[in-house]
Amino acid sequence: MEDQTLSHLPKHLAIIMDGNGRWAKARNLPVSEGHRRGADVLRKIIEAVGNRGIKYLTVYAFSTENWRRSSLEVNAVMQLMRFHLEKSLADLVKNNVKLKTIGDLSRLPKDLIKSLKDAAEKTKENTGLTLIVALNYGGRQEIVSACRQLIEKVSAGDISANEINEEIFEKYLDTTDIPDPDFLLRPGGEKRLSNYLLWQMAYTEFLFTDTLWPDFTETDLDDALSFFAKRNRRYGGRAA
């Protein structure tokens, strides 16, 4: 990786891990094998991101729309989550990684919910990378949920409608107390957000690459970070 100061790195990197199914299909393998390979890549990238001094990493593990896939694929993904969560917990603790989740966990298998909550509890004091896993997450659903909560507050007289601003609204999002992503990386060749962090990405830099997620490497990560380091982030203003 080229020499870069921390000021040139994103504080918060968001990743859409795309291409597991296509990777498997190209090799005449079951889709579950693509997800297995993708999970192995994620473990390596989590460590690499932490080693590079990035403070927040959010990964899109399972969307609200992914329930539309076959029950065989969904069950395989859930089983992989169980396996890798158990396998990775010691690494998260050792590498000072704090685990958080966003999304509605209630629809997930109860044993997986318990494992996720246990892992979050065991890593809550860690001070290195914060890993945010988006599970049964959808950006539109998150915004609707925040609106409902605010309507309830207004109806109860706890807050007036005139007081509502962006800062207050953000307190009702899943990502409250987490900075917005500076940088979105989507391997896999697709160029869309897929209902991911819609509110939070108002000023995020985007990079879409053709590399399928199971083929993604630390070199690909460093190339992406080099791309980000060259961006002139103006937030609606003019370049100096």
Give Dmax (Cα) for the chain: 59
Q: Is 136 a catalytic residue?
A: no
Collapsing DSSP to helix, strand or coil, 168 comes out as: helix
Hey, what are 151's tokens?
């309507």
Collapsing DSSP to helix, strand or coil, 161 comes out as: helix
> Which residues are within 8 A (CB) of 31 and not within 5 positions of it... i.e. 6 or more apart?
20, 21, 24, 25, 73, 76
8, 1, 2, 6: which is closest to 232 by C-alpha? Answer: 8
Q: Which of 3, 40, 51, 66 is catalytic?
A: 66
Q: Is 180 a catalytic residue?
A: no
123, 234, 101: which is closest to 178 by C-alpha? Answer: 101
Bridge-based pairing of strands 205-208 and 130-137 is unpaired
Catalytic center residues: 18, 66
